[in-house]
Structure 1
Amino acid sequence: MNEAFISPSRMSRWGDRLKKIEQLAQSFQQHPLTTRYKPRLWPCQPSSVWKLFPRQNMAISFTQSCKEAVHVFALEKEKASLGQRIYLVTSYSELWHYYRTYPQSLMHCYEVIPEGAVCKIYFDLEFHKPSNRGSDGKSMVSLLIQYVCDKLMEVYGIKCSAKNILNLDSSTEEKFSRHLIFILQNAAFKDNIHVGKFIHAILQPVINKIKSDSDLEKENSSPTENNENREAVVSEMTPEMKRFKREERDLSFLLVKNKDGQNCLFVDLGVYTKNRNFRLYKSSKAGRNAAFTVAEDNEFVPEPARRVSAEESVFLASLVCNVSFTGQRILTWDAPEVNRPQTAAPQCQQGSASNPDTVSGCQLSPYQEVDNFVLTLVRKDGIQGNIRRWSYFAAEQLLVYDINKYRWCENVGRFHKSNNIMIIVDFKEEVWYQKCHDPDCRNFRSSSYPLPREICVSYILSLDEEDQAYVMDETGNFEPSQTRNNSERPAEEATPGAWGDERDDQAYLESLNEFEENSGEISDQLLLTCVDDGCSQ
């Protein structure tokens, strides 16, 4: 075959163009023009995530592997067996969107308060109206709010009032029922366990009163002798003891009667457990129509936000774990339970070999592998740094570690003399970075560094659509998923011809081989002509 002479200059141009094409191809591979489409409610919102799970632990595990800002909610179905719940994973904005669209299907919805998640102070208040006909529920709520606000100022120096507390009501003719959510200014509790300890401590006087009812009945059997003993005890009381005695008397408004006529507490102390399901604003219990609404005596007004309605603002404020990491002071209550509240929140103490479940005196986070990784970051160069405490922000999926004894700051390129640093682990992005307590570095954030693959949830966890036992149809009804049944279908039952016939594939292969054997080689001149034509267009 005769080939035209190709000059060196043209060959050089050919090499340059070929190199440019290879560079463009590599660039397009690394940075595709478009990404896989994911539906969303509107352009400013994150991609849509709406997954249903039969078990709570599966839903929580999925949120830890999901790149989007998602959370777990529990759903009760009408006519389902008692206590049966489905667990939904979605974002706050998407839940609110469908909350309005399908009020019947989502009317029995609960927020799952994850173990270890930073949260607001919250209360569940209730009493049986027929057994407490002389009780004024509104007045009791007002007195409790004032008392808790006083204690927050006394213990933590935090100022708040009824204007910082969302007051929700789901009372009926038979039952008085309220939820209180404290929206403090730049402060929240480390988790709901610490909230429960704080509330137990400040209500200890009235708790002791309930426990001592039987003793009081015995004392009443011999009033003369007991009056003399009571006067002797009062004369020996210190001013501090008298103050707590007055508190015990002042908290008597929290005592109510249950259906059996026995003394009980107006405050439900059983709602401060890990992974607690807390009923949402506008939701009712299954089989009942008493949904939570804003109470008549509510004084809280949420701050207006762009593209957020007033009603959605109330919904977002009612979420116990909707707490931002930025600028938050984390409150703790680590004191052992005593007969009266402490005047200051105890600090973490240095750990000891006798307590294997601590890191420098603070309890381990729920992510022990991450704890161990963080320790490798702060134990080097001859310095034995440690974890002073940790805080988990469920709303942003951030695990924040306060570090002690290791003060290297990337911003200044050296160790700080007195101020400590923070290590922040971002589960969504699977990275970690450093921040600082030093005033000069307060707004600094270091570069992001990838987490080791072995501690990334996406590597540990492999969930797919088969894990969903339920789906929601177009009308908002929950139905069992058919995905698992379809996936279990034997391979030999697949529809014939779905991927072509094997005989056709063999014929295509033979035709291709015949073309390659009989066709002549394409000349370089023709290739260069095609390239020139392409560049000129």
Structure 2
Amino acid sequence: MSKWGDRLKKIEQLAQSFQQHPLTTPYKPRLWPCQPSSVWKLFPRQSMAISFAQSCKEDVHVFALEKENASEGQRIYLVTSYSELWHYYRTYPQSLMHCYEVIPEGAVCKLYFDLEFHKPSNNGADGKSMVFLLIQYVCGKLMEVYGIKCSVKNVLNLDSSTEEKFSRHLIFILQNAAFKDNIHVGRFILAILHPIMNKIKDESWLGNERRTNVSEMTESPEMKRVKKEERDLSFLLVKDKDGQHCSFVDLGVYTRNRNFRLYKSSKVGKNAAFTVAEDNEFISTSKKGIGVEESVFLASL
């Protein structure tokens, strides 16, 4: 059998495994008007799941599932509604503990960030302060570029840090506003962080940054503003395991059909699931029939 045939067989076995271990308390839709009919379908390939979701009359979404002992990077794709996923997600966390939201290409989405740094390589780095400074800066740029007012109270702050790695997800819950898709989110973030990104490629600036330059006296106001932003964003510069400078903000999470790890989920082989961070100031608004934890879950999507 070809390698592709072997892989397809393993994926089909994985799908069968999920189906053979039923989540015994069935989802009962329509208990509240906001709950859609039951849809729960598994697919071996992401493209198949996305096609089905797009053709489904119900308000369904695509999720990627990982399972312990499966081949590295191997995922199975689930199509269901938010309410049905939550029903099983909260009741049987072991079955769905490695779950990712698939952000479909071209779909409207929230502004989101994946933040991380290697703790041993960044002794003295204050992750909480870095998160707060970033939120302040982004809120200022949202007002400057789009006229959108927001604060730290509009940002869901999720934490999956370990002894070795500081790790956060930020999801901006903006009033009556969202981005066209996650590609546009990425462009916005790259644009507002541009003043510091080029510095990562040129480490020589680190030694020169504190030197007084006489030419600064004759710089234009615009040049002075750019240099001030570079200094203001210097907290985004961190070091990786090899001691190389990199960004606190992961710019690789704005690709098409991105898989973004869910609240309460961990990576395969890891125990650090995303939980609400200690310094989170966002408070989700509960609706009738929806508890606080489900409200946080829905806000994170």
TM-score (norm 2): 0.87
Query: Which residue is 1:339 aligned to?
Result: none
1:178-197 correspondence runs (5 A): 178-197=168-187
Match of 1:288 in 2: 270
Partner of 1:494: none
Measure, in 1, the Cα distance between the counterparts of 2:54 and 2:144. Answer: 37
Letter in 2 for 1:146: Q
Aligned to 2:238: 256
Give matches, 1:167-246, under 5 Å. 167-213=157-203, 215-216=204-205, 230-232=213-215, 234-246=216-228
Q: 1:90 aligns with which of 72, 80, 100?
A: 80
Structure 1 counterpart of 2:300, which letter? S
Q: Does 1:50 align with 2:17?
A: no
Which structure exhibits the higher relative contact order, with contacts defined as CA atoms closer than 8 Å and separated by 6 or more residues?
2
Retained in 1: the 8 A contact 2:199–2:205? no
Q: 1:208 offset after TM fit, Å? A: 1.2
1:305 to 281, 287, 291: 287
Residues 189, 195 of structure 1: 8 Å contact kept: yes
Give the % identical residues.
79
CA contact (8 A) 2:262 2:274 kept: yes
Query: CA distance change for structure 1 residues 216 and 246 in 2, over 3 Å: closer, same or farther?
Result: closer
Distance 1:231 1:134 in 2: 33
Q: Paired residue for 1:113?
A: 103
1:175-225 Cα distance to aligned partner (Å, 9 max, x none): 000000000000001000000000001001110111121x448x87xxxxx
Structure 2: 5+ residue runs without aligned partners?
Answer: 1-26
Residues 367-446 of structure 1: pairs in structure 2 closer than 5 A: none
Alpha-carbon contact 2:97-2:266 (below 8 Å) kept: yes
Residues 22-51 of structure 1 show CA distances to partners (whole Å, capped at 9, x for unaligned) of xxxxxxxxxxxxxxxxx8434433211000
8 Å contact 1:40–1:46 — kept in the other structure? no
How many pairs were matched up?
273
Q: Distance in 2 between matches of 1:256 and 1:211?
A: 13
Larger radius of gyration: 1
What is the distance in 1 between the residues matched to 2:113 and 2:139? 13
Are residue 274 (structure 1) and residue 256 (structure 2) matched?
yes
Please tell me whether the aligned partners of residues 30 and 37 of structure 2 are also in contact (alpha carbons under 8 angstroms).
no
SS of the residue aligned with 1:140?
helix
Distance, in Å, in 2 between the alignment partners of 1:67 and 1:243 is: 51
Cα RMSD after superposing both structures: 1.8
- For residue 313 of structure 1, report the CA deviation from its aligned partner: 0.2
Distance 1:247 1:87 in 2: 42
Mapped to 2, the partners of 1:281 and 1:100 lie a distance apart of 11
Q: By how many angstroms is 1:100 displaced?
A: 1.3
Which residue of structure 2 aligns with residue 66 of structure 1? 56
SS of match in other structure, 1:52: strand
Query: What is residue 334 of structure 1 aligned with on the other side?
Result: none
| Distance in 2 (alpha carbons) for counterparts of 1:59 and 1:117 | 15
Quick one: distance in 2 between partners of 1:63 and 1:165? 28
